[in-house]
């Protein structure tokens, strides 16, 4: 059974091997092990649940780091880490990998001034397979689409070194073997000539686990396309993204039941659009407002816009690919926000917290929005992947310094043994945002 990396646990064989290779990157003085979770959590309460001292410093020409305490109701608090860039002071980009990677080993992070975790991705603990692309819904890298959205979502875009956010409807136009057709995501409920299935069709549920407390479990049936009714004159075509930006078919089924995870996209289209026994070529002409001939350099699906009035009512909370614990209800957790303030500075702001902590729980979405509105205000903004994925790294003379989620634990590989505290190591992620200074580097 394959296991996908989950909350504070790394049990997938591939990721275990990667982490073992990277253990030399963790400063030895920060490693500490515990015989039980209770012992580890008692230590975290004393070691991690601490207010930070206020500081502000320039880390690059026109780029500032601010660290400060923000108090909440009921005597709680969150530590805030904010990196802001003046207009044209930095070059920002989104980087996407097919599989989650350890940021401390990522070449892009080592060559950037600032790195942050980015979009949502398939995250579970038990599954028979992994999708070809871990980043959920829309993923664009180097101007090429590698994953299509199956539901409408906000997204973060990078174009010519600048970041922005947009609402992307899962619909548009595509061409199969030169024939232009309309398409929509299979979870939109809308009608079109073609229906797209992708990693966003995964159904993950939280279940009780005797070792970890909870486990994210894939509904294996969600990995397959639904049956095609006789007489529908439709066919499921499995496509793989090509280096030239198009897609090439590698499989087809007239009855459904196609393995979504084995393809970058599965398109249910009219049977006459493909020729049996021959490979088909597909070009994506439009994705929501994005035109296929003028795609951003990179993009990844993100969380709700900051100007959402009711976060709990946002449809992302009903997305089964994110598990059965909705991520944007009115509960406190670590949250990372990308936004532009009223002075046109671009911010990555992390509201830190530790799960289960009474004093240091993180923030609710509305608390994050209201804190930003009261501090700098915002022209636009959106949430990135929250919880224990959210983290910021600064690259200085001593290497990468990590901010946020310092309670990270490596779980015993066999289910027995010791729990190891590695605060500088975060959850492996398939998408990151990097910032490089255009001016003199001053990070200390």
Residue 232 CA: distances (Å) to CA of 222, 229, 320: 21, 6, 27
HSE value, Cβ hemisphere, 13 Å, CA-based, for 391: 27
Q: Within this chain, do residues 297 and 178 fall inside the same structural domain, yes or no?
A: yes
Task: Please report the pLDDT score of residue 23 as a whole number.
Answer: 35
Q: Which residues pair with 387 in a beta bridge?
A: none
Tell me, yes or no, whether 324 lies in a domain.
Answer: no
Residue 35 has pLDDT above 90, yes or no: no
What is the percent of the chain where pLDDT is above 90? 76
Q: Are 21 and 102 in contact (CB under 8 A)?
A: no
pTM beyond 0.85, yes or no: yes
Residue 195 has pLDDT above 90, yes or no: yes
Q: Within this chain, do residues 268 and 179 fall inside the same structural domain, yes or no?
A: yes
Q: Are 125 and 3 in contact (CB under 8 A)?
A: yes
Residue-range definition of the domain harbouring residue 14: 1-119+334-355+384-444
Tell me, yes or no, whether 360 lies in a domain.
Answer: no
Q: Within this chain, do residues 104 and 161 fall inside the same structural domain, yes or no?
A: no
pLDDT tens string 283-336:
999 999 999 989 999 999 999 999 999 999 999 999 999 999 999 999 999 999
Q: Within this chain, do residues 84 and 128 fall inside the same structural domain, yes or no?
A: no
Task: Please report the pLDDT score of residue 395 as a whole number.
Answer: 93
Q: Within this chain, do residues 177 and 273 fall inside the same structural domain, yes or no?
A: yes
Average of per-residue pLDDT values in the chain: 90
Q: Within this chain, do residues 133 and 111 fall inside the same structural domain, yes or no?
A: no
Binned at pLDDT 50, 70 and 90, residue 37 comes out as confident
pLDDT tens string 205-250:
988 877 666 788 999 999 999 999 999 999 999 999 999 999 999 9
In total, the chain counts a number of residues equal to: 444
Residue 86 has pLDDT above 50, yes or no: yes
Task: Please report the pLDDT score of residue 414 as a whole number.
Answer: 62
What is the percent of the chain where pLDDT is above 70? 90
d(CA 216, CA 199): 16
Question: DSSP letter at 126?
Answer: B
Q: Within this chain, do residues 95 and 196 fall inside the same structural domain, yes or no?
A: no
**CB under 8 Å to 408, separation ≥6 — which residues?**
8, 388, 421, 422, 423, 425, 426, 427
Residue 176 CA: distances (Å) to CA of 45, 187, 369, 374, 394: 56, 21, 43, 50, 44
Residue with tokens 């089964």: 320
Secondary structure of residue 267 in the 3-state scheme? strand
Task: Please report the pLDDT score of residue 9 as a whole number.
Answer: 35
d(CA 18, CA 15): 5
Mean pLDDT of 92-101: 96
Residue 90 has pLDDT above 50, yes or no: yes
Tell me, yes or no, whether 364 lies in a domain.
Answer: no
Q: Within this chain, do residues 220 and 259 fall inside the same structural domain, yes or no?
A: yes
Q: Within this chain, do residues 260 and 160 fall inside the same structural domain, yes or no?
A: yes
d(CA 331, CA 338): 20
pLDDT tens string 366-383:
999 999 999 999 999 999
Of the residues 301, 325, 347, which one is the last residue of a structural domain?
301
Q: Within this chain, do residues 344 and 251 fall inside the same structural domain, yes or no?
A: no
For residue 265, what is the enclosing H or E element? strand 265-270
Q: Within this chain, do residues 273 and 159 fall inside the same structural domain, yes or no?
A: yes
The torsion angles phi and psi of 348, rounded to 5 degrees, stand at: -115, 115
Task: Label residues 285-305 b or e (16+ Cβ within 10 Å = b).
Answer: bebbebebeebbbbbbbbbbb
Binned at pLDDT 50, 70 and 90, residue 130 comes out as confident
Task: Please report the pLDDT score of residue 415 as a whole number.
Answer: 61
Relative to beta strand 429-437, strand 114-117 is antiparallel
Residue with tokens 């979502």: 153
Task: Please report the pLDDT score of residue 211 as a whole number.
Answer: 64
Mean pLDDT of 169-174: 98
Q: Which residues pair with 85 in a beta bridge?
A: 63, 346
pLDDT tens string 394-423:
998 888 999 999 998 877 766 667 888 888
Task: Please report the pLDDT score of residue 248 as a whole number.
Answer: 97
d(CA 433, CA 91): 10
d(CA 113, CA 437): 7
């Amino acid at each position: 059974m394959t296991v996908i990396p989950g909350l504070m646990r790394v049990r997938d064989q591939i990721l275990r091997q990667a982490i073992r290779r990277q253990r030399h990157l963790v400063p030895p003085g920060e490693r500490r092990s515990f015989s039980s979770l209770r012992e580890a959590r008692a230590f975290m309460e004393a070691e991690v649940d601490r207010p930070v001292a206020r500081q502000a410093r320039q880390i690059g020409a026109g780029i500032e780091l601010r660290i400060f305490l923000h108090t909440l109701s009921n005597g709680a608090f969150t530590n805030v880490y904010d990196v802001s860039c003046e207009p044209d002071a930095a070059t920002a980009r989104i980087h996407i990998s097919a599989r989650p990677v350890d940021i401390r080993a990522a070449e892009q992070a080592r060559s950037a001034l600032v790195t942050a975790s980015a979009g949502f991705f398939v995250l579970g603990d038990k599954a028979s397979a992994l999708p070809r692309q871990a980043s959920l819904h829309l993923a664009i890298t180097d101007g090429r689409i590698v994953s299509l959205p199956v539901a409408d979502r906000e997204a973060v875009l990078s174009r010519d070194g600048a970041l922005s956010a947009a609402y992307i409807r899962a619909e548009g136009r595509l061409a199969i073997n030169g024939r232009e057709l309309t398409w929509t995501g299979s979870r939109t409920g809308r009608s079109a000539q073609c229906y797209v299935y992708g990693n966003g069709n995964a159904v993950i549920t939280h279940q009780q686990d005797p070792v970890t407390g909870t486990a994210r479990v894939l509904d294996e049936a969600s990995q397959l396309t639904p049956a095609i009714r006789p007489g529908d004159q439709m066919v499921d075509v499995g496509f793989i993204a090509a280096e030239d930006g198009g897609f090439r078919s590698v499989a087809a089924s007239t009855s459904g039941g196609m393995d979504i995870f084995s393809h970058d996209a599965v398109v249910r289209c009219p049977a006459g659009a493909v020729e049996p026994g021959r490979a088909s070529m597909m070009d994506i002409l439009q994705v929501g407002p994005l035109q296929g001939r003028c795609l951003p350099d990179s993009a990844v699906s993100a969380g709700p816009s900051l100007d959402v009035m009711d976060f709990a009512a946002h449809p992302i909370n009903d997305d089964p690919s994110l598990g059965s614990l909705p991520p944007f209800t009115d509960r406190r957790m670590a949250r990372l926000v990308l936004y532009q303030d009223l002075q046109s500075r671009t911010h990555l702001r992390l509201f830190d917290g530790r799960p289960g902590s009474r004093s240091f729980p993180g923030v609710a979405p509305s608390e994050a929005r209201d804190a930003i509105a009261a501090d700098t205000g915002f022209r636009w903004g959106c949430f990135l992947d929250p919880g224990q994925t959210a983290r910021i790294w600064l690259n200085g003379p001593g290497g990468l310094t990590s901010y946020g989620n310092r309670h990270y634990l490596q779980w015993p590989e066999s289910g027995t043994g010791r729990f190891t505290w590695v605060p500088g190591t975060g959850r492996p992620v398939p998408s990151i945002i990097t910032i490089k200074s255009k001016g003199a580097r001053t990070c200390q």
